[in-house]
Amino acid sequence: MKVLEELREQFLEAIGTCKTVDDVEAVKLRFLGRKGLLAEFRKNIDFKSLTPDERGAVGKNFNDLKNLFESKIDDVHKSFADSDKSAKLPEIDMTLPGSGHTIGGLHPVTLVQMELEQIFMGMGFYIESGFEVENEHYNFDALNTPSDHPAREMQDTYWLENGMLLRTQTSANQVRALEKFGVPLKAIFPGRCFRYETIDASHENTFYQLEGLVVDRNITIANLISVMKLLLNQVFHREVKTRLRPGYFPFVEPGFELDINCLICGGKGCRTCKNSGWLELLPCGIVHPNVLRFGNVDPGKWSGFAFGLGLTRLAMMKYGIPDIRLFNSGDIRVLDQFRATI
């Protein structure tokens, strides 16, 4: 697109004139910031007016340009760092003991989220983060859960004084995405969720999920199972044992629970899996017609599947972390184990 090409030329000109690290940060903020030029372009484009082919082309060009910006900025940062290191090298007394400073590391949940985003982008999914503070409509009503629905009792919710709430699930993004992008649609929504519940080895009041939504013509349960198995095999880099059992969620019909054989104990039973040998990981199902209607989609012509992947529990399985409370503990020794994976 002409707009993206103009952004590319503006960026290359701006990054080429940078003289200091502060100059580079200013360029980064201008083009990649939350209110930067790329974000403004994405916000203003009318995806509903584009054909599926045009939408795919725009998404690819956008991601390619974003990757170019990030790569160029990293290169310039590195060149400044190398130059500064060379200039100061003669002043270093190599006989002095080290300072003991460390470079830090990424949180294990962040590592898992980054890996999943790459996997889903490879399958053509959009990535949307949504809002941690939501309204009742998108968190409950639009998900086929009105105020008198018994399923409301299944989620202990943090309500705010202004009537808003801390989202209990990333499913709150489903109808928002349908309203924004239209159909067909493939999107994931990673982010933090909150529930007022008792904390134990496998439950937290603050945790991370990744919601997924696919809406197209003639979508079936077979499509759902295929995508889920491919995802888990790529995450764990080996075939994992799963089971699919009926489950109830108001926004899907039929609904399922996809469990994974506990990788902490190998299925023998431990406190993480409550001695069952299985861990609930992936609630999923076929999108309920009412949810499609809330998103202005005709359920007579379109169908889809949705899934909610627990990023925190997935990180437990992937890295062998037996207690979910360690993630929010602030214990630096937990993060130290993942520094080498950056």
Same domain, 229 and 335: yes
Q: Residue 318: inside a domain, yes or no?
A: yes
Residue 246 near residue 223 (C-beta atoms within 8 A): no
Q: Could you read off the pLDDT of 165-216 as tens digits, one per residue? A: 999 999 999 999 999 999 999 999 999 999 888 888 878 889 999 999 999 9
The residue out of 91, 126, 146 marking a domain boundary is: 91
Residues 81 and 185 grouped into a single domain: no
| Residues 34 and 173 occupy one common structural domain | no
Helix runs in the chain, H state only: 2-16, 21-32, 37-44, 52-88, 108-122, 136-139, 173-181, 221-236, 289-294, 311-319, 332-336
**Residue of higher predicted confidence among 205 and 237:** 205
Please give the Cα distance from 340 to 307 (Å, whole number).
31
56 and 120 both lie in a single domain: no
Query: Counting beta carbons within 10 angstroms of the beta carbon of residue 228, is it exposed (0 to 12), middle (13 to 18) or buried (19 or more)?
Result: buried
Write out pLDDT tens, residues 75-118: 887 887 766 555 554 566 667 666 666 666 788 899 999 999 99
Give the confidence band of 339 by pLDDT, cuts at 50, 70, 90: low
Q: Is the dihedral of CA 95, 96, 100, 104 positive or negative?
A: negative
CB atoms closer than 10 angstroms to residue 210: 23
Task: Let me know if residue 99 belongs to a domain.
Answer: no
Q: Do 58 and 188 reside in the same domain of the chain?
A: no
Same domain, 279 and 168: yes
| pLDDT value of residue 342 | 44
**Claim to verify: residue 207 and residue 332 sit in the same structural domain:** yes
Crossing angle between the packed helical segments 2-16 and 37-44, to the nearest 10 degrees: 170
pLDDT digits (tens, 9 = 90+) for 101-160: 666 678 889 999 999 999 999 999 999 988 999 999 999 999 998 887 776 666 688 899
Within a domain: residue 85?
yes
> Would 101 be classed as within a structural domain?
no
Position 100 in a domain: no
pLDDT (average), residues 260-272: 85
Summarised one tens digit per residue, pLDDT across range 287-325 is 999 999 999 999 999 999 999 888 888 888 888 888 888
**Do 137 and 198 reside in the same domain of the chain?**
yes
Q: How many domains does the chain have?
A: 2
Asked, for residue 96, whether it belongs to a domain, the answer is no
Q: How confident is residue 223, by pLDDT bands cut at 50, 70 and 90? A: very high
Asked whether residue 70 falls in the same domain as residue 118, the answer is no
CATH of the domain at 308: 3.30.930.10
Statement: residue 273 has pLDDT above 50: yes
Q: Do 47 and 180 share a domain, yes or no? A: no
Alpha carbons 8 and 65: distance in angstroms, whole number: 7
230 and 331 fall within a common domain: yes
Q: Are residues 32 and 163 in the same domain?
A: no
Question: Domain limits at 77?
Answer: 2-91
The pLDDT of residue 258: 86
What's the pLDDT at 85?
A: 55
pLDDT on residue 84: 59
